[in-house]
Amino acid sequence: MNNTINIRGGLLDLGKPCVMGILNVTPDSFYQESRKQTERDIAERTHQIIAEGGTMIDVGACSTRPGATPVDKDEELRRLAFALPIIRREQPDAIVSVDTFRPEVAQQCVEQWDVDIINDVEGSEEMWQMVASLHTPYIYMSSRPSLHDILIEFADVTQRLHGLGIKDIIIDPGFGFGKTMEQNYRILSEMEKLQVLGLPILVGVSRKRMVYQLLGNTPKEALNGTTVLHAIALQKGASILRVHDVREAAETILIMNQLCTMNS
């Protein structure tokens, strides 16, 4: 399995799982505590992610939660133009990804603010062409409702991406996108099958509906359930946990790594 991706000419080893901390510069992300819109809040969140054990900072400026109405490109870029220089100033060596489905936004983020990774929830041909020209790692997410369909999609898309010259690909089964709660759990229960593709797997379940709907609580109360799912995802082969709660996720990884060491 290829556990490395190229970041700024150096190899990042994902053989040991890592944490991607969420930094939303939106007023409408589903988890209110993740919304950071002032310079102080963005700077504090940037330092928090790194201090608590995060390896990557994932910046979102256009909410993609189910039912959300996306802002236009200009507003998304305005928010990123405010946030990314702050992040780079506060943590210049941090690995930064941008959560966007717009090729023009991806281009400006890489060329103007040195963003390292494009995290895409839609996967258009135009975005693939752009990523190929930017030579950045790329996260491709599936909205398919079953692992069988996800595997077929990933096999097809990764072949096409390789044909465009995109070498550093991370796959995301897309928990919460185009899936019922039951489908989310069925996919997680057999997620280890995705390892046949030989690519790093990103899992984003943090405080999502699949957690709080099952438990009968709210996103604010869903940390314990999220941590349980993170432990299962790591057992199933997750390389990156995309999270709101960095310290708890990093501790989960540390414990799981210790168990793996004892069993090796």
Active site residues: 208, 242
Half-sphere exposure of 65 (CA within 13 A, CB side): 18
Could you give the C-alpha distances from 234 to 231, 240, 249, in angstroms and in order?
Answer: 5, 9, 10
Q: Which amino acid is at 167?
A: K
The tokens 């966007």 sit on which residue? 100
Match 């082969």 to its residue by tokens: 237
Report yes or no: 4 and 200 within 8 Å, Cβ to Cβ. Answer: no
User: Cβ neighbours of residue 96 under 8 Å, at least 6 residues apart?
Assistant: 56, 57, 58, 59, 84, 87, 88, 113, 114, 115, 116, 117
Asked if 138 and 100 count as a contact pair (C-beta separation under 8 A), the reply is: no
Q: Which two tokens stand for residue 48?
A: 């928090």
Beta-bridge partners for 4: 13
For β-strands 117-120 and 10-13, DSSP reports them as unpaired
Partners of 240 in beta bridges: 18, 202
Check if the beta carbon of residue 97 is closer than 8 Å to that of residue 79. no
